Chain A
Amino acid sequence: MRRFGPLHMTALAAGLAFLYLPMLILIAYSFNASRLVTVWGGFSTRWYASLLQNQPLLDAAWLSLQVAFVSATIATILALLAAVALVRYGRFRGRTLFSGMIGAPLIMPEVVTGLSLLLLFVALGLDRGFWTVTIAHVTLTMCFATVVIQSRLVAFDASLEEAAQDLGAPPWKAFLTVTLPILAPAVAAAWMLAFTLSLDDLVIASFTTGPSATTLPMRLYSAVRLGVTPEINAASTILIAFVAIVVVSASLVVKRELVTRP
């Protein structure tokens, strides 16, 4: 049997380099003292300092975090309910429509989702701002979250919940004391996915927001259109570091769980 050889190693290294080099270059230039992006002017953290002065960007970041937190939380709760319905309820009336609605946003182009939600908000006469963006993000992210929880729930040993009921726990209590704790890593992963998707979204937010609420990706987008600046490099680096820390630590937790449960 051929094992892991030099050819495999090369493919792995090249693939990972392709994935990571662009971001590493970006991170490196965020510490560049020179305003000229291509010229290395020595190590500096001045762009991080100037970032702290950029009030509109900070406001946008704060707004995005709020939207992401609220929408991820609502989306995860709805996703948990939807996953339970899809996995546990067998056939029910309207199931095809329901699973279709769960699946459709996954393939729906963001421009279409954004446009359709905007038209709804206009038709309802809602003031566009924080809540319209949050609702839009819930709708988008709950479908991704459902898929994550659903895949874990399908693999869930149903006899565990039966055992809890057999030992005297009513169905809702069996779910809360047995199923939910075991599902917790998947629910956490679903929440994180919803959170980052919301934090990352430019297109849907652009459609559904109003003049009062500008999210971080919208700010970054208008800045990026004007060209590359060291300040955006710094902001990007912070975002990348934030996500990397969260994802790596989360995967370590999950891995430890996997190791202790062979």
Chain B
Amino acid sequence: MNQRTARKAARRSVGSVRRTCAPWAEPGARPLVEFCSVTKAYGEVTAVDRLSLSIYPKEFFALLGPSGCGKTTLMRMLAGFEAPTSGDILLDGVDVTAMPPHRRPTNMMFQSYALFPHMSVWDNIAFGLKQEGMARPDIKARVEEMLALVRLEALARRRPDQLSGGQRQRVALARSLAKRPKVLLLDEPLGALDRKLREATQFELMDLQADLGLTFLMVTHDQDEAMTMADRIAVMDHGRIVQVAPPEEIYEQPANRYVAEFVGDVTVAEGTVTGIAGDIVRIEAAHFGTLEIDEEEGRARMDAPALVALRPEKLNIGHDEPPQTVNKVRGEIWDIAYLGDFTMMQVKVGGDDGPLVKAAIANRSRRMERPFAWDDIVWLWWDVEAGVLIDP
């Protein structure tokens, strides 16, 4: 019994990360940004559909979704470049819905960086401060502070076309931070960088956000970027928010099939609930046989259809049949993709018309005793904690 209580406590914070900062969960927290039933329609097309969302101070918030899901429109409405068709946008308690962009206390880092080509790095960073009518010595001090922050002191006199991609990105960042915006908007901030640089920059951005205590709102289609950097992620689809949660929860407890399939690899088994015993739910699924998963009580109803999401890294694969009676399936290897750190297998289960199940094995040693090959008959099995019930 003691063990079960401990397990339940662990369940409450899904995944392996414990958050020190979670302003959205604090009682009495006042949101910094509020979208209140915001709709944006372009003629027949609805880009954002009656969407409500609150973002809290000091959050690193990511809007994640495929192109055309409305995430960029949502951000541009906060910046003031688009006016909502209906609904209100509040910033720090003030209704900014009709406020023109140049009056809003938000700043944006553009996807293309939008650096002014005819101005030096210094003038680019000073541009916003000059608009404020800030005194000359203050501008100088602030620009130098920003240049130091992004480590570009030596390049202050350069023009944007004389900079590398990474340097341009840092100028764009410095320019948008110079005015100390209440919210910094990042539109695909790392999209134009190559992979190595992107990874390094991700952590720099996170450190910067934590050090400055600013609120960041990021738009991205790259799930890795969102997972790495964001405190919370809103997954969007067709102008609506499907799930808002910290990255671990998005991954381990996706709200529905769309989220499960958009974030990471997943196999979804479709079946019917045949038994509920405490928090163990038993499901009969075509091609998969009997599945048992550990779920919160009340999540499942007897005889109801159920979807079980199985992440590849949570599946075991072997040539021999495992001893357990449930949560196992036999299949044939259809595809092997060696990816270095792990190998992704596609296993056809339940005959030729059965589904392909993805299973990943970590390559922990350089050799394997019985390596897998195409057409091998293998067994997949998993733990009662591996699967998760999701909505359709």
Query: Are the C-beta atoms of A170 and B161 separated by less than 8 Å?
Result: no
Q: Produce 1/0 per residue, A164-192, CB < 8 A to B.
A: 11111111011001100110000000000
CA distance A171 to B114 in the complex (A): 16
A160 at the interface (CB under 8 A from B): yes
- Min distance, Cβ B42 to any Cβ of chain A, angstroms: 11
Query: Are the C-beta atoms of B112 and A167 separated by less than 8 Å?
Result: no
Which of B111, B117, B161, B175 meets A167, CB within 8 Å? B175
Query: Are the C-beta atoms of A182 and B117 separated by less than 8 Å?
Result: yes
Q: Which of B181-226 contact A (CB under 8 A)?
A: none
Chain A residues whose CB sits within 8 angstroms of the CB of B108 once the complex forms: 162-163, 166
Query: Are the C-beta atoms of B127 and A167 separated by less than 8 Å?
Result: yes
Q: Which residues of B approach A to under 8 Å, CB–CB?
A: 79-81, 100-104, 106-108, 110-112, 114-118, 127-128, 131-132, 159, 161-162, 175-176, 179
CA distance A171 to B100 in the complex (A): 9
Query: Are the C-beta atoms of B161 and A165 separated by less than 8 Å?
Result: no
Query: Are the C-beta atoms of A163 and B131 separated by less than 8 Å?
Result: no
6 of the cross-chain contacts (CB-CB < 8 Å) are: A157-B112, A162-B101, A165-B102, A168-B132, A169-B102, A178-B116
Query: Are the C-beta atoms of A162 and B114 separated by less than 8 Å?
Result: yes
Beyond contacts A162-B108, A166-B102, A261-B161: 9 other A-B pairs, Cβ-Cβ < 8 A, are A162-B81, A162-B114, A164-B127, A165-B81, A165-B100, A166-B106, A166-B108, A177-B127, A181-B118
Chain A residues whose CB sits within 8 angstroms of the CB of B114 once the complex forms: 157, 159-160, 162-163
Query: Are the C-beta atoms of B161 and A262 separated by less than 8 Å?
Result: yes
Query: Are the C-beta atoms of A168 and B128 separated by less than 8 Å?
Result: yes
- Min distance, Cβ B127 to any Cβ of chain A, angstroms: 5
Which of A168, A178, A261 meets B179, CB within 8 Å? A168
Contact A164 B116, CB 8 Å, known A159-B110, A170-B102: yes
Which of A162, A168, A177, A261 meets B110, CB within 8 Å? A162
Query: Are the C-beta atoms of B112 and A159 separated by less than 8 Å?
Result: yes
A260 at the interface (CB under 8 A from B): yes
Query: Are the C-beta atoms of A182 and B102 separated by less than 8 Å?
Result: no
Q: Chain A: interface residue count, which band? A: 20 to 34
CA distance A163 to B131 in the complex (A): 12
Q: Which residues of A approach B to under 8 Å, CB–CB?
A: 157, 159-160, 162-171, 173-174, 177-178, 181-182, 260-262
- Min distance, Cβ A156 to any Cβ of chain B, angstroms: 11
CA distance A177 to B131 in the complex (A): 11
CA distance A165 to B107 in the complex (A): 10
Which of B106, B110, B132, B179 meets A163, CB within 8 Å? B110
Chain B residues whose CB sits within 8 angstroms of the CB of A261 once the complex forms: 117, 161
Interface of A is mostly: helix
Q: Who on chain B is nearest to A180 by CB?
A: B118
Q: Which 3 A-B pairs have the closest CB atoms?
A: A167-B128, A168-B131, A163-B114
Query: Are the C-beta atoms of A168 and B117 separated by less than 8 Å?
Result: no
Chain B residues whose CB sits within 8 angstroms of the CB of A162 once the complex forms: 79, 81, 101, 108, 110, 114
Chain B residues whose CB sits within 8 angstroms of the CB of A177 once the complex forms: 127
Chain A residues whose CB sits within 8 angstroms of the CB of B81 once the complex forms: 162, 165-166
CA distance A181 to B159 in the complex (A): 14
- Min distance, Cβ B33 to any Cβ of chain A, angstroms: 16
Q: Who on chain A is nearest to B172 by CB?
A: A163
- Min distance, Cβ A260 to any Cβ of chain B, angstroms: 6
CA distance A171 to B107 in the complex (A): 16
Query: Are the C-beta atoms of B79 and A166 separated by less than 8 Å?
Result: yes
Query: Are the C-beta atoms of B100 and A170 separated by less than 8 Å?
Result: yes
- Min distance, Cβ A43 to any Cβ of chain B, angstroms: 48
Q: Who on chain A is nearest to B175 by CB?
A: A167
Q: Who on chain B is nearest to A178 by CB?
A: B116
CA distance A171 to B81 in the complex (A): 11
CA distance A171 to B131 in the complex (A): 12
- Min distance, Cβ A172 to any Cβ of chain B, angstroms: 10
Q: Who on chain B is nearest to A184 by CB?
A: B118
- Min distance, Cβ B383 to any Cβ of chain A, angstroms: 49
Chain A residues whose CB sits within 8 angstroms of the CB of B175 once the complex forms: 163, 167
Chain A residues whose CB sits within 8 angstroms of the CB of B179 once the complex forms: 167-168
Q: Tell me which of B81, B131, B161 has the highest count of chain A C-beta atoms within 10 A of its own C-beta.
A: B131
Chain B residues whose CB sits within 8 angstroms of the CB of A166 once the complex forms: 79-81, 101-102, 104, 106-108, 176
Chain A residues whose CB sits within 8 angstroms of the CB of B101 once the complex forms: 162, 165-166
Query: Are the C-beta atoms of B161 and A260 separated by less than 8 Å?
Result: yes
CA distance A164 to B115 in the complex (A): 9
CA distance A169 to B127 in the complex (A): 9
Q: Who on chain B is nearest to A181 by CB?
A: B118
Q: Who on chain A is nearest to B160 by CB?
A: A261
Chain B residues whose CB sits within 8 angstroms of the CB of A165 once the complex forms: 80-81, 100-102
Chain B residues whose CB sits within 8 angstroms of the CB of A159 once the complex forms: 110-112, 114
Chain A residues whose CB sits within 8 angstroms of the CB of B104 once the complex forms: 166
Q: Tell me which of B100, B110, B118, B162 has the highest count of chain A C-beta atoms within 10 A of its own C-beta.
A: B118
